[in-house]
Structure 1
């Protein structure tokens, strides 16, 4: 006596895209939702990341164009040791420096110098177009790093948000389909019970 091998269950790929009697309109809608979600997540994330990186790069370039380095002179000698608990992390200290602005006006402000620098030492400070002291702009390497990290972060956040929105829509379609199945089963179950009972 030969035994009939169990029937293998074959998984049909892309069945939602193929015409078949079991495919419902909601299945096709779900397939389009999944496809659109992935496309928008990838392309939307890439475009948003590129736009954010371009905006950061333009902002850094504008900042560099608005400031310039000027040569200043220390008016007093800098302290010889870094104060304890002062928060200095680069081994330099603050000292008073003086420089002349583009309009010939004299400006005085603090500048970072190495400890023990004598009065009259020339240092470089950054000033705006009015000659006022400003923090130094980001270097090219720092600007590039900031631009890249911002683009990656915005791309990831945008892609994740689109993906999550698409899967929420897909979840709603699945819940709707399950509800429809329950309603159909309530209509079919009495007939199925009568049929199965009469066939015994």
Structure 2
């Protein structure tokens, strides 16, 4: 096991007669990988977050609530045992009119026990297709932040992992060079020690 000395900050950038070319290369690799990790992560995160927020804003502007009606009775009861609504919803078929005037049907969540013709509010896109309710501005901000954060971390991992791989290879190469240098000079030191013992 190799002996480890205490870490000295920025030692790769200080003047030192024992500093090798490999130490300088390693310093630049660390700096480059660190900068790419931070900048790449931040830029990717901000770009993705902005894109998600714009898409959600477009959905808020284009999607519209439409009143649909149930096509069949929905089984069940609409009240909980205590007489208050429990907020439970079930899937049922509804019919609505698209912007082009055509009649459309689809599945929407409604209260159990609703009868045929009960009005139900559904959300549709510009073509009249069923969609989920759009995210509010605050929900959009949170969602964009989360997706942007994940994208930023994912993008930052690429240069970080690449830098770690490169540093590991440089370390292995440095240790191999130490072995070669040791093999070359150890016999000379051994001869010097033998002369001193005479």
For normalisation by structure 1, the TM-score amounts to 0.78
Change (3 A) 1:10 1:121: closer
Within 5 Å, which residues of 2 pair with 1:88-99?
A: 91-99=88-96
How far did 1:61 drift?
2.9
How far did 1:138 drift?
3.5
Q: Could you list the runs of 5+ residues in structure 2 that have no partner in the other structure?
A: 79-85
Q: Aligned pair 1:189/2:169, yes or no?
A: no
1:14 to 10, 33, 53: 10
Within 5 Å, which residues of 2 pair with 1:53-132?
A: 53-81=49-77, 91-132=88-129
Q: Does the 8 A contact of 2:87 with 2:111 survive in 1?
A: no
Q: Aligned pair 1:33/2:29, yes or no?
A: yes
- The alignment partner of 1:199 has SS state of helix
Alignment-derived partner of residue 3 in structure 1:
none
Alignment-derived partner of residue 177 in structure 1:
174
In the aligned structure 2, how far is the partner of 1:132 from the partner of 1:20?
71
Q: Could you list the runs of 5+ residues in structure 1 that have no partner in the other structure?
A: 1-8, 83-88
Change (3 A) 1:190 1:98: closer
Q: Does the 8 A contact of 1:42 with 1:159 survive in 2?
A: yes
- The alignment partner of 2:18 has SS state of coil
Change (3 A) 1:109 1:177: closer
Q: Does the 8 A contact of 1:79 with 1:93 survive in 2?
A: no
Alignment-derived partner of residue 83 in structure 2:
none
For normalisation by structure 2, the TM-score amounts to 0.79
- The alignment partner of 1:99 has SS state of strand
In the aligned structure 2, how far is the partner of 1:75 from the partner of 1:175?
72
Change (3 A) 1:187 1:96: closer
Alignment-derived partner of residue 82 in structure 2:
none
In the aligned structure 2, how far is the partner of 1:132 from the partner of 1:167?
49
Alignment-derived partner of residue 5 in structure 1:
none
RMSD: 2.6
Q: Aligned pair 1:23/2:19, yes or no?
A: yes
Alignment-derived partner of residue 48 in structure 2:
52
| Range with bigger deviation, 114-123 or 158-167 | 114-123
